[in-house]
Amino acid sequence: MFRRREPVPFAFVAEAERYRSNVTPPPRDRASRGEIAGRLLVGLTVTCGLVGALLFGMPSMQTPVPGQHQSQQSQASDGR
């Protein structure tokens, strides 16, 4: 690190990279049972939604196998 040419009025400004606070933050509040249950319910809902979308979307993503094609004809193509 290079030296500054102008005087620095405070020592902690010059040593800002190594400065550590000696003040500890207050402890975090513990989550109540209701908050934990709510978070669990939201997580389960999101997970079930993703799994359901995957299950319902899989048939539409599969390519049809040749030979097992169901031929459907409309009444207009019967020639009546």
Tens digit of pLDDT per residue, the chain (80 long)?
A: 556 566 656 655 555 556 567 788 889 899 999 999 999 999 999 999 999 999 998 888 788 777 665 556 656 655 55
User: The tokens 């040419």 sit on which residue?
Assistant: 5
Q: Which residues have CB under 8 Å from 22's CB, separation 6+?
A: none
Number of structural domains in the chain: 1
Q: Would 36 be classed as within a structural domain?
A: yes
pLDDT value for 64: 77
∠ CA(70), CA(66), CA(55), 5° rounding? 75
Q: Which domain holds residue 43?
A: 32-56
Q: Would 51 be classed as within a structural domain?
A: yes
Q: Would 13 be classed as within a structural domain?
A: no
Which two three-digit tokens encode residue 28?
A: 């975090």
pLDDT value for 65: 74
Q: Would 42 be classed as within a structural domain?
A: yes
pLDDT value for 24: 85
Question: Helix (H, G, I), strand (E, B), or coil: what is residue 59?
Answer: helix
Question: pTM of the full predicted structure?
Answer: 0.48
Answer yes or no: are the C-beta atoms of 31 and 25 closer than 8 Å: no
Residue 55 CA to its chain's centroid (Å): 20
pLDDT value for 61: 79
